[in-house]
Amino acid sequence: MTQEPVRSESKQVVLVSGARPNLMKIAPVARALRKNPRFAVRLLHTGQHYDDEMAHRFFRDLGLERPDTDLGVGSLSHARQTAAIMERFDEHLDREGADLVVVVGDVNSTIACALTAVKRGILVAHVEAGLRSFDRAMPEEINRILTDAIAHFLFTTERSAGENLRREGIPEERVFFVGNVMVDTLLAHRERALAEPRASTRPPRGYALATFHRPSNVDRAEDLRRLVDILLDASLCIPIVFPVHPRTRERLERFDLLRPLAACGAIDLLPPQGYLAFLRLMAEARAVLTDSGGIQEETTALGIPCLTLRTTTERPITVEEGTNVVCGQDREKILAALDEALAGRGKAGRVPERWDGCAAERIAAVLDQKLSG
């Protein structure tokens, strides 16, 4: 793409969020851009995550104003959701226009809004670009690859992401290694989170935290049953605090797997948590069992051992330098890694380069330079 930078005085910037984890990435970028009077920033939420109460808690926790626009798309199949977001976002751009659209992460909203903007000749920035699991069975992997192929400005969290983009033929002048905006948010809110009421009665360092929701783990009864059995086994070693994602709860109920968890006195089943409450749970855990990509990063930043319940990760730096061990659904590997963590021999890791709380400021500086003229 050879589009020239926009040269108007006031740059109309649309920040797109779709799923709740996007909000942790959008929040510091919004703050950094709003410090510069050259940017007129609008926050648009697609409604891909449609629980209004949970969305409100995340906006409140992160100090964000309610979005200027909510497309209200809701839950649909991947194709229909992507199409609905594109149609409604296109109508929004008809009414409001934009000079730059900023998308984050790898959800359907990311590719839908990026593609809509590019087809209208609007500049697109992708925050958290270049991450690859190399597993194209993951819908998120397709979203990442396609968004990176069409974005004008690609902001990466780790150096391996830049290497991935170079292999895919992305010109180096479009790629900027800025660090991790998720860590910006974590560092900005950690002290507030530790002052939150505890969501569980388990004492600090007296439990392991579990959370999983990906289709590969919960959509088939045999896979979900295997993870339930692993949690029950793990609870013999340490109590488990388990905030249950709505998708996971629905599958547990459908496959009649909720009762053994509820009957286990060493497993605390919690409703979904707001950002601050969950951050406190994570910061005070002995170990975390998860299939979330963002939590792999957050545990590395916190120095908490992380057991990833997937066979791949798009965030290799959390394994190479951080606290992450990729375990899949391998019972023996999971329990061995948990034993190591409880014995104090889990991966200590270190905080990766540029995970210092300043990523959003670097993004704002790049965009100020590229959109000025």
Q: Which residues are catalytic?
A: 213
CB atoms within 10 A of CB 42: 16
Question: If you ran DSSP here, which 8-state letter would residue 343 be given?
Answer: T
Interatomic CA distance for residues 99 and 121, integer angstroms? 9
Question: If you ran DSSP here, which 8-state letter would residue 127 be given?
Answer: E
CB atoms within 10 A of CB 50: 15
Q: What would the two tokens of residue 31 be?
A: 């703050």
Which residue from 261, 273, 199 is spatially nearest to 231, judged by alpha carbons? Answer: 261
Interatomic CA distance for residues 185 and 183, integer angstroms? 5
Query: What's the Cα-to-Cα distance from 234 to each of 166, 289, 339, rounded to whole Å?
Result: 42, 10, 9
Residue by residue, DSSP assigns 143-181 as: HHHHHHHH-SEEEESSHHHHHHHHHTT--GGGEEE---H
In terms of Cβ atoms closer than 10 Å to its own Cβ (0-12, 13-18, 19+), residue 148 is: buried
Interatomic CA distance for residues 67 and 43, integer angstroms? 5
* 3-state percent helix, strand, coil for the chain, nearest multiple of 5: 45, 15, 40
Beta bridge partners of 40: 12
In terms of Cβ atoms closer than 10 Å to its own Cβ (0-12, 13-18, 19+), residue 332 is: exposed
CB atoms within 10 A of CB 64: 18
